[in-house]
Amino acid sequence: MELLRSMNVSLSLQFFTNERELGNALVQGRVDILMAAVMMGENAFTLFDTPGVVTYNYETFYARTSETDHSAVYAIFTASWVLLASLMISLLATVTVVCVADIIEFKREFVQPSMDTAMSLIASFYATSAPTPSYRQFLWTRKEVFGLWFFVTLPLSVYVRSSLVAQLSVRASPNSLDTLQKLDHALSKSAVLPCVITGTWMHKLVKTTNDSNTLIGKLSAALHQHSSSQLLEVKTFLDCLRCASRKDGVCVAGHQPTWYVFGVNSKIIESKERISPVFGTTIVRKSLSLKGSYRKFLRRLFERDLFNLSYKNPLKNAEVDMFKRSFDEQFQELQEFFSYFALFLGFAFCTFCVEVAAATLSQNTRNQEAAQSIRSN
């Protein structure tokens, strides 16, 4: 109030029972400033003025992730006989190459350097990470271990790495309902039932839109088509997420932090795209002469930290939301990564154990042969 007195501004408070009366009063000039952070769409900025956007949100939708993950290796193998045939051909080719190389190298020692180079090139081409033999011993064991490793990584090395990165970075599978184009296509086929929270800006927009060619119009048509179902107009965001957990359900609501949605149901994903932004701000009559003074007044409030954080710095709020990700979600991602890492480490350890056992057996055999030769001499 001291700031207002210093700026020679007087206040006259009026109270309205509904938004229509308030909007008419603003348009007619009976009200200059609405001292509240209201949510409004882009078209509202053509009717009123604003001293600056205070906060914002955007409408999006939530859906259940697909049960069938086409990025998984087993799904591709079971769905394609061509890939199975390619796998068998690669198996036979790899075993043939390794066996021929062993036979030639065993019978003709002068080609050993060439065979080493050839096997190293095969290792680099197939696995892109296989070690290069550095010395001559454990011939059969080393070649058989390399052959098995080549067989495992031949058709899958690049794909497995890309699939692993995709699964650890994005929770949704490629065929999940996570884009506006997919939602539009599903609504056109009447394949999904959208749920909207009552009393929200999106609910009012959907209820009043008649254009069936737009996404909002298709949402409106779906609600009117299933108007007998009370499940499509829910009261809370939690009920909306429960609607999205159904096989054919989609929750159309404002953006919420990932940790909150994941805590309700880990199989629900948020769309990658936004339906429309919704801005929250105080609105001012366009012809008001004190718009500049009111903007300075709000700036003073910001400087003195008299506004709540949610109205003052939405970008900082986004950082806080990212920081609030649940520990269970982070631990699950790390657990998946380290399980894959432990699997590959286990393969490497098994290979090392086989080579050590072969080296010990070979050394004992050589010692026995040397002892027998000494005795015979």
182 pLDDT more than 80: yes
Query: What is the per-residue pLDDT for 1?
Result: 52
Q: Are residues 210 and 138 in the same domain?
A: no
Domain final residue pick, 306, 325, 344: 325
Residue 299 domain flag: yes
Residues 6 or more apart from 184 whose CB is under 8 A from it?
215, 218
Query: What is the per-residue pLDDT for 113?
Result: 66
Mean pLDDT, residues 249-258: 80
Q: Are residues 87 and 158 in the same domain?
A: yes
Q: Are residues 299 and 273 in the same domain?
A: no
pLDDT band at 305 (very low <50, low <70, confident <90, very high): low
Query: What is the per-residue pLDDT for 38?
Result: 56
Query: What is the per-residue pLDDT for 279?
Result: 59
Residue 374 domain flag: no
Q: Are residues 228 and 152 in the same domain?
A: no
Residue 317 domain flag: yes
Q: Are residues 22 and 89 in the same domain?
A: no
pLDDT band at 191 (very low <50, low <70, confident <90, very high): confident
Query: What is the per-residue pLDDT for 265?
Result: 67
Q: Give the CATH number, domain containing residue 13.
A: 3.40.190.10
Q: Are residues 270 and 198 in the same domain?
A: yes
283 three-state secondary structure:
coil
Query: What is the per-residue pLDDT for 342?
Result: 67
User: Hey, what long-range contacts does 357-362 have (CB within 8 A, 24 or more apart)?
Assistant: 358/138, 358/141, 359/137, 359/138, 362/137, 362/138
Q: Check: CB of residue 253 under 8 Å from CB of residue 59.
A: yes
Query: What is the per-residue pLDDT for 225?
Result: 72
Cα–Cα distance for residue pair 122/129, rounded to 1 Å: 11
Q: Are residues 192 and 251 in the same domain?
A: yes
Residue 157 domain flag: yes
pTM beyond 0.75 = no
367 pLDDT more than 70: yes
The model's pLDDT over 57-104, given as tens digits with 9 standing for 90+, comes to 677 888 887 654 444 455 555 555 665 666 677 667 767 766 776 666
Q: Are residues 270 and 295 in the same domain?
A: no
52 three-state secondary structure:
coil
Residue 376 domain flag: no
Cα–Cα distance for residue pair 118/101, rounded to 1 Å: 9
Domains held by the chain: number:
3
Q: The domain containing residue 43 runs over which residues?
A: 1-54+282-325
